[in-house]
Amino acid sequence: MSVTAADVTKALADFHDPETGRPVTEVGQVRDIAVDGGRVSLTLALTTMSAPLWKETQADCAALLKQKLPAATEIDVKLGVHERKPQPLGEIGVTAKCVIAVGSGKGGVGKSTIAASIAYGLHLAGAKVGLMDADVYGPSIPHLIGVNHRPEVHEGKIQAIEVDGMKVMSMGFLVPAGEAVVWRGPMLHGAIQQFLRDTNWGDLDYLIIDMPPGTGDIALTLSQLLPLTGAVIVCTPQDVALLDAIKAIAMFRKVNIPVLGMVENMSYFICPDNGKQYDIFGHGGAKKRAGEMEIPFLGEVPINIQMRIRGDEGRIAGNFSDETTAPYLQTLCHNLVKNLASARKERPPLPTLNVLK
């Protein structure tokens, strides 16, 4: 029994686009179907938002076709890019498909390092990413990425500074080094609003926001300004950090921001001299607590000397070319995007209708 192009389309009727959760055959992402005897080839076009899942999605597509088309002797699934522009979010008008806040219940847990790493990981995978430093009192993103110059203003818009192809904005670009920001709540609200409304971010797949530590009112400000996709909580394994992380989770839930997952940073230390693992702050506490609170666990990141050095030297992107650090950070990004894709598959968004007036 021979295979037809219609058979291929039918076989993919239940194969879902990672971004929208809708069948790829419904949204025009299956292209160039060719059948020659038992040989089947096609192009699966995916958006840059799902870039961390491209290879996995390609393999899943080929496996599904092999399962549903037993007469096919050879299956070739090529990857293409499907363009889908983001819609402006809320009244603030940021054009981003996902806005993710990275927070912690306390300082000193490596929140900014994880936020910058998630942004870099998504960017290096092929997504369009912006990184916003909302930690107004202690902006550390400029130091971590090795950039500290003032952004330009064109036509009334602040031009986000481009770093390795990624858009970045921080109070650290605007305030001289060593100068303290002494502001009350309304001034903070105004600064965050300006970072969002008056900054030219361009079209983004992800806007990653590095939150200030603790449970201040910036989360409330963000929840009022635009619809956040959710928050990622960073903590270390010991009980005192977990107690504060629980407060951060409660804060986000109180302002109706979904918690997308927890990250256990400084999870353990592997001694380079003997290869032995030392659980300096304990180990596994965040994973256990995430399970108890029914929150996804995104992964653990061990203490690593080179990661600390690169952060101090403004070379945090180098962690992704180091085989001792890259797998942990790539796992965080993959799990985050995978969870988002799973959620959208369960609750795909309704298509936009253009109503004629």
Decide if 357 is inside a domain.
no
Same domain, 164 and 72: no
The pLDDT value given to residue 357: 41
In a domain, 355, yes or no: no
Q: Say if residue 106 is in the same domain as residue 171.
A: yes
| Among 33, 53, 81, residue at a domain's last position | 81
**Parallel, antiparallel or unpaired: strands 161-163 and 166-170:** antiparallel
> Is 59 a member of any domain?
yes
Q: Does residue 181 share a domain with residue 320?
A: yes
14 found inside a domain:
yes
Number of domains in the chain: 2
Residue 351, domain member (yes or no): no
HEC-encoded secondary structure of 288-307: HHHHHCCCCEEEEEEECHHH
Looking at residue 216, what is its pLDDT?
67
User: Pairing state of beta strands 153-154 and 157-159?
Assistant: antiparallel
Residue 234 in domain = yes
The whole-number pLDDT of residue 319 equals 95
Whole-prediction pTM: 0.91
pLDDT by residue, tens only, the chain of 357 residues: 688 999 999 999 999 999 999 999 998 999 999 999 889 999 999 999 999 999 999 999 999 999 999 999 999 999 999 999 999 988 788 999 999 999 887 788 899 999 999 999 999 999 999 999 988 777 889 999 999 888 888 888 889 999 989 999 988 887 766 665 655 556 767 778 888 888 999 999 999 999 887 666 777 788 888 889 999 999 998 887 788 888 889 888 888 899 999 999 999 998 888 989 999 888 888 888 899 999 999 999 999 999 999 999 999 999 999 999 999 999 999 999 999 999 988 876 655 544 444
- Tell whether 181 and 72 lie within a shared domain: no
Say if residue 102 is in the same domain as residue 69: no
The residues near 125 (Cβ < 8 Å, ≥ 6 apart) are: 51, 52, 54, 333
215 and 281 part of one domain: yes
Is the separation of the CB atoms in 236 and 281 below 8 Å?
yes
For residues 230 and 326, membership in a common domain is answered with yes
Domain enclosing residue 103, as ranges: 88-346
Strand partners, 259: 231
Considering the domain architecture, whether residues 77 and 100 belong to the same structural domain is answered as: no
Q: Do 234 and 276 lie in a common domain?
A: yes
Which own/partner pairs from 246-252 qualify as long-range (CB within 8 Å, at least 24 positions apart)?
Answer: 246/105, 246/289, 246/293, 247/105, 247/215, 248/103, 248/104, 248/105, 248/214, 248/215, 249/293, 249/295, 250/215, 251/103, 251/215, 251/219, 252/101, 252/103, 252/219
172: number of CA atoms within 13 Å, CB side?
21
Q: Does some domain include residue 108?
A: yes
Give yes or no: residues 70 and 98 share one domain.
no
Which among 25, 57, 81 is the end of a domain? 81
For residue 262 the two structure tokens come to: 């927890």
- 118 shares a domain with 58: no
The candidate with the shortest Cα–Cα distance to 25, out of 11, 4, 40, is 11
| CATH number for the domain harbouring residue 275 | 3.40.50.300
CATH number, domain at 18?
Answer: 3.30.300.130
Residues 60 and 109 in one domain: no
Asked whether residue 24 is assigned to any structural domain, the reply reads yes
How high is the pLDDT of residue 356?
46
Domain boundary among 81, 101, 131: 81
